[in-house]
Amino acid sequence: MSSPSVASLATTVVFVALLGGALGSYAGVVASRGWRASLGGRSHCDTCGRSLSWYELVPLVSFFALRARCRTCGGSIGWGPLRWEAVGAAIALLIALPLLLALGV
């Protein structure tokens, strides 16, 4: 079996981190809004109520790209969502990396 290329491993790591961040983000929504409330409606700004676009929901990346502010009203985004996303990404990587390395991906 040939060794994996660095690019394919890096791409897989980024994908796993984003997936873990998305799951961590959802866990944060469930923790703050409750199970039933998390299933209804789109993500929105807590200050102005505007529904967020898909590119404002990329785990970890959008927090820093938007400088922790709403794109429309400039309202502050707390550190809580970033923490949930970072923990989700870390857990996903801790689970996936040994598996990926063992499989030779």
The pLDDT tens digits of the residues spanning 18-76 come to: 999 999 999 998 998 888 777 777 888 989 999 999 999 999 999 999 999 999 999 99
pLDDT for 1 equals 47
> Is this model's pTM higher than 0.85 or not?
no
Q: Phi first, then psi: what are they for 103, rounded to 5°?
A: -80, -15
**Would residue 26 be called left, alpha or beta, if left means φ above 0 and alpha means ψ between -120 and 50 degrees?**
alpha
pLDDT for 32 equals 86
Burial of 80 (0-12, 13-18, 19+ CB in 10 A): exposed
Give the whole-angstrom CA distance, residue 87 versus residue 9: 21
Give the whole-angstrom CA distance, residue 46 versus residue 20: 23
| Extents of the domains making up the chain | 6-103
Mean pLDDT of 78-99: 94
Contact residues for 43 (Cβ-Cβ < 8 A; gap 6+): 29, 51, 52, 57
